[in-house]
Structure 1
Amino acid sequence: MASNFMCRMLQIPLLASLLSMCLLFPAVQGRRNISDIEHAYQGIYWKTALRECPTEHFDILVESTRMMLELTEKNNKPMDTPGWQRFFVADGAGMEGWSSEKHLPDYLQVQNIMTQVNLFPRLGKVGKGNKKRDYQVAYRCRSSRRGPCPKRGKTIATRKNSHGRWEMNFCEAFFSHKYLNDITNGEKMTAHKLGSLVSYEHLLAHDWTFVDLLGSSFHVKDLEAKNDNRHIKSKISGVEWANFFAWYWNAIPNFVVKYSAENYAWFWTNNWFNEKWDWKDNGLDPQWGPTTNTSFPGSPSEVAGPGAVVPLDIQTNEQKNCHSGNDPRESFCDYIGEPYGDWLKDREKSFTSEGGCELTNAGARLVIMPLTPLASVRVMAKKLRSLIPGVLVSGEARPEVIRMFSSS
């Protein structure tokens, strides 16, 4: 009896210790089945977040990733939006702007970033090895007291880890924000309040532009301006800075904004709320524009003036997976899903056909088509022989042709 009593007495401190650990460390869904999530977002490595993040935070990452893809929905003519006018500056009459022969490559680079941010989280690397960790971005939850989140107020730290793999470290400050939908369904604000409309999705979109796996030919980052005369340095952060930086040369676009993650994020958020809240914003009228706050240290007005130095970053301005339409403001980019250098090497690789011919896909666009049985091909060929004369005469695809291809 005495020995049993002693055992029970010894168990009490152990149970108390376990209880305190449960209170200190929130439970995570280590055994949760996330196969549907992994399938829906193949460009993201979720298992680390499953281990590290409390359930509530993990759910926030899933939902905000889903809505970020709506926030960044593809637009082939971004220059026609108020967000572009405010944070990139649209071409004026007679101006050598984004759609000019000189700067069209810069425009295509920006369009590529916008396209790939919207596609990569869903698709990841297409083809063999598409689920390898090397081609995914890991989501992680980190304490603000250690690791990549030492700065107070830091929301996400996106970087390559010691193994050269991309990861997004979500700091505690990130989870103090709101869902995009919750802001949208709340009290409507004017465009003057744009700077206060920072959502989970806005922050995510900002950091996804950093990731080289997207296939950009240049690197997007957070930029810094300074004034040597006043010994001031300031990160280009916030709506006032992004707007000021874009319009630094007045009506002539500041093409260096293509490197600024902040400008992409505000472009998307501006256009979202312009549509949802019917701002009727043209990106120019001061009546609708964000107010320039001059009271905070390192504000644009404080840095501007004699001695001011804005970032100047010159990298390559090619983007071979993109091309413009008849209207140079309209552009199209093929999906890449891997670093741009790897994509260039892959498209130059030759392969041998069954007949022994060495082929290459250099310069060709990737077209993915469903496999068609040989019997169906023969039937299709017979139908085409009877339909092609009509197609050639009319110059249009007859309904029979459309139905045949859609049903094959």
Structure 2
Amino acid sequence: MSDTELLSLQTDHLHTLQQRYQQALDAHGYDSLLVSSGAAPRRYGDDQSWHFQGYGPFLHWTGLTGWEHCWLLIRPGQRPVLWLHQPVDFWHATPVLPWEPWQDAVDIDTLEQPGAPSLPRVGRLAVIGDPACLTGVAGDHNPVALLAALDETRVHKTGYEVACLARANALALSGHRAAREAFLAGASEFDVSLAYQQATGQREADAPYHSIIGVNEHAGTLHYQYYSTDAPAQSRSLLIDAGVRFRGYCSDITRTSAGPQEARFAALIQGLDQLQRRLCDMVAPGVAYVDIHRKAHQGIAALLGAAGLVTGLDDDAMVSEGITRVFFPHGIGHFLGVQVHDVAGKPVPPPTDAPFLRLTRTLEAGMVVTIEPGLYFIPSLLDPLLSGPLAGHLNPSLIRELQSCGGIRIEDNVLVTGAGARNLTRAGEA
């Protein structure tokens, strides 16, 4: 999609949000809504601030990720009003907003000082955002029922949002390709990170989340947060979970690569990739997301048996005995949007057999979800299994061999369509 087409969709997006927000405000008895963009808090005991990316509802409307101390006023039947903080400052650069078509649908003003603007007559007012930024602002702050209704406005993506998510996927894939090439050339985790950033043109601080880059056994830590600067003696495996933020919208992609001498691990990657594609094909309106999660466990069981990691038990027994949860301990995925783990995913708690599942809804057209099965060799989870009553069904020598490769995760971002699904990630690989 061209930039011109994408920008034209943004105006339609704003009209849709105006309708959705009007319904939410009417349902909860409010005449207007003031949204804070937020501001980066200071680090405790320091004069430096944390990096800032903006509050979800503000990003949903504007996509302006780096703008602090800004405000958006929404009133049913009237044009939104956007106040941009533009201080006179010789210490920092003041951001400049380039003109785009969506600005014709919004009244834009500026503020030199932090703090809420003076408002016209707005009736009963709700104000939402970081409570630290709302001190002294008139109105009802963060009313719980209204916030829940506004979260629902983000569940079904507009055409503009889908286009942004697709672009975020395409940009991230260029980084994943560069990361794999760096790994195969023997790079350290730090150098893999640099290769990813160079290819995407995005600073780590501006990414939608801290990239997970685990080489060898580090791939077995689900949210591994460090980057070793030492090149590995042998590059056995790479797990990279990294995305890009485009106009506020996030991609969240994971790929796993095997080193040239790791035939067994490469076969497991291929098997998990085939399973992951089948799970993506399950995405469709009317499908309970937890059913995809449970189908993933059946697939993991089949893969464990085929690889000889577990013997003497059928797939159902591996699941019922909890063996698959040792190798695949997290949920199958989550909603995706202006937040990586987007809101409104758990109207009911996850079931006891999937305690870490972040999405418990039945899928509907317009939702965007991640599908991310994994197969890991995590000592703290495997050790009790290897010393327990089921130990005789495990292949400890093969497990020990594969532990130095850490684990596998493969993750795509998938749009639920009216008839099935559109894989935004694989489309970018074609």
Q: TM-score range by the shorter chain?
A: under 0.3
Q: Which structure shows the higher helix fraction?
A: 1
Please tell me whether Structure 1 or Structure 2 has the larger radius of gyration of its CA atoms.
1
Q: Which structure shows the higher strand fraction?
A: 2
TM-score by length of 2: 0.20
